[in-house]
A and B are shown apart, each in its own frame.
Chain A
Amino acid sequence: MSSYKHLIVAALSIGAISVSSPAALQCAPVPDSITLNQNGKLFSPFTFNHAKHIQSIKECADCHHHTTGTLVLDPNCARCHQNSSPTAVVSCKGCHSATPFSPETLAAKRADKQRYHLDKMGLKGAMHQNCIGCHNKMGNGPTGCQDCHPRTTEGAAFYSTNRKGAKPAHAEEE
């Protein structure tokens, strides 16, 4: 049992080293496409074309805070992170919690008196704000819900889409 544990620890540390060393980072596979909303119930999972975004934007730091090989650009972040080394994790879910308001997350936040980033966005908020924010700013790219992820049958029921075009509530008041 203990050797099994050691094996896992060793495997993990090798993995960590290979990701955290800058040389390895440059060789680290940058995904061409990522499946997002994997556990979506109301909206289907969908493929995010990472390669296309790299081609058109080029600057990793436009989307990622802690990028590989680029210095921190945001002046507010630079106050502390100007000389910070690239982090091992650059994916959104590496830092942004999928359950930002769960009792556990809130309790951990309250217990950690030293924490500076108290207003860190959850995963869903971070991704939507990043995507929709940029798409609005650039004036292209999808901004509607179903432009990225089509609704499931459950989602259609949730949004009562069968009622579309029915008389709005305010019409009765007039």
Chain B
Amino acid sequence: MKRRNFLKACLIGGTTIALGKTNKGWASGSFEGYPEAMGVLVDTTRCIGCRSCEAACNKEQKLPEPDTSFDDPSVFEHDRRPTSKAYTVVNRYQKEQPSGPVYRKVQCNHCNEPACLTSCFVNAYTKTKEGAVIYNSKVCVGCRNCMIACPFNVPGYDYDSATNPIVKKCILCYDTRLKYGKPPACVEICPQEALTFGHRADLIKLAHERIRATPDRYVDHVYGEKEVGGTSWLYLAPVGFDKLGFDTTLSNDPIISNVKDFLGMVPMVLSIWPALFSGIHLLAKHEEQGGHGHDTDSNQEDTKP
């Protein structure tokens, strides 16, 4: 092979890779969830803040006794986030408004393309076909990458045991209920039916139908339909989602889209680059040793980009 041809090939190869980087046609990022995935639609206009969902979750998941009882309204004084001892919490917003407070249940949203799963290097997380994002605590090494990766600040970390690190979060009652087609414990106990369980695809239609039928009741947006590539938990709200503690700055692209271009480069760098540069090096060395066949003109030509 002529040195000129070799460099030309390198240039073409490099351009192809560079173009491939910006191509959105890569498999990840376009996944719209499993067709039979289930989900829960949270209608915040219906929630009365009774915290029964918290109690039901606590008992179903056999979590430790709460710090204070589940009918203690004092917990609403501060915003809470899910922890290893409480996979779901209810927060109160808009207390000063004449229309009364709005309550928002927080738990793992069970993304179609979970960032926790992407960030986990031991593959502790699985997105099941039923829509739940579950984890295997046996392989978890406690690196807590998932806690940083999660766009909703969900995974909690069990700090009580230093020897057995476990990240804990809502699993949509996968082991005890979802696997058998049954609704999660929080949905079943909700007195107001603020939580609606069903196929995710059906829930999206249902949510838009509620907005259409009673436009004064809702803002025209279903949170979780598109955010970070879509989530199994969907929300309806009477006021802007930003007023209820939702992150409204999230992109509709899954978190993996932010890193997949970079991660796609890694195998190339690790496997192709050593061979490529060794080749160039060897070729250059070879040319140096047997370089008497070249005149000055051709050398100048070769150094052109």
Task: Give chain A's interface residues, CB within 8 Å of chain B.
Answer: 76, 100-103, 106, 109-110, 118-119, 121-122, 124-126, 128-129, 132, 143, 145, 158-172
Q: Does B270 contact A (CB under 8 A)?
A: no
Complex partner residue of A170 from B48, B80, B197, CB under 8 angstroms: B80
Q: A100-B193, A106-B181 are in contact. Are A160 and B66 (CB under 8 A)?
A: yes
Complex partner residue of B198 from A101, A158, A162, A163, CB under 8 angstroms: A101
- Which segment of B119-127, B141-149, B184-192, B250-258 sits at the interface? B184-192
The proximity string for B residues 65-81 relative to A, scoring 1 for CB distances below 8 Å and 0 otherwise, is: 11111111011011010
Complex partner residue of A128 from B86, B191, B202, B206, CB under 8 angstroms: B191
A-contacting residues, B186-231, CB 8 Å: 187-188, 190-193, 196-199, 202, 205-206, 209-210, 213
Do most interface residues of chain A lie in helix, strand or loop, or is the interface mixed?
Answer: helix
Complex partner residue of A102 from B65, B69, B182, CB under 8 angstroms: B182
Q: A119-B206, A160-B55, A168-B74 are in contact. Are A125 and B190 (CB under 8 A)?
A: yes
Residue of B nearest to A156 (CB): B69
CB distance from B180 to the nearest CB of A (A): 7
Residues from chain A with Cβ under 8 Å of B74 in the complex: 168
Residues from chain B with Cβ under 8 Å of A169 in the complex: 66-68, 75, 80, 83, 86
Q: A76-B213, A119-B209 are in contact. Are A170 and B75 (CB under 8 A)?
A: yes
Count of chain B residues with a beta carbon within 8 Å of a chain A beta carbon: 43
Cβ of A166 and Cβ of B67 under 8 Å apart? yes
- Scoring B65, B71, B181, B190 by chain A CB atoms within 10 A of each residue's CB, the highest score goes to B71
Q: Does B244 contact A (CB under 8 A)?
A: no
Residues from chain B with Cβ under 8 Å of A165 in the complex: 68-69, 72
Q: A128-B191, A132-B192, A169-B83 are in contact. Are A159 and B55 (CB under 8 A)?
A: yes
Q: Which 5 A-B pairs have the closest CB atoms?
A: A125-B193, A103-B181, A101-B183, A164-B69, A101-B197
Q: Does B280 contact A (CB under 8 A)?
A: no
Q: A132-B192, A169-B80, A170-B78 are in contact. Are A163 and B68 (CB under 8 A)?
A: yes
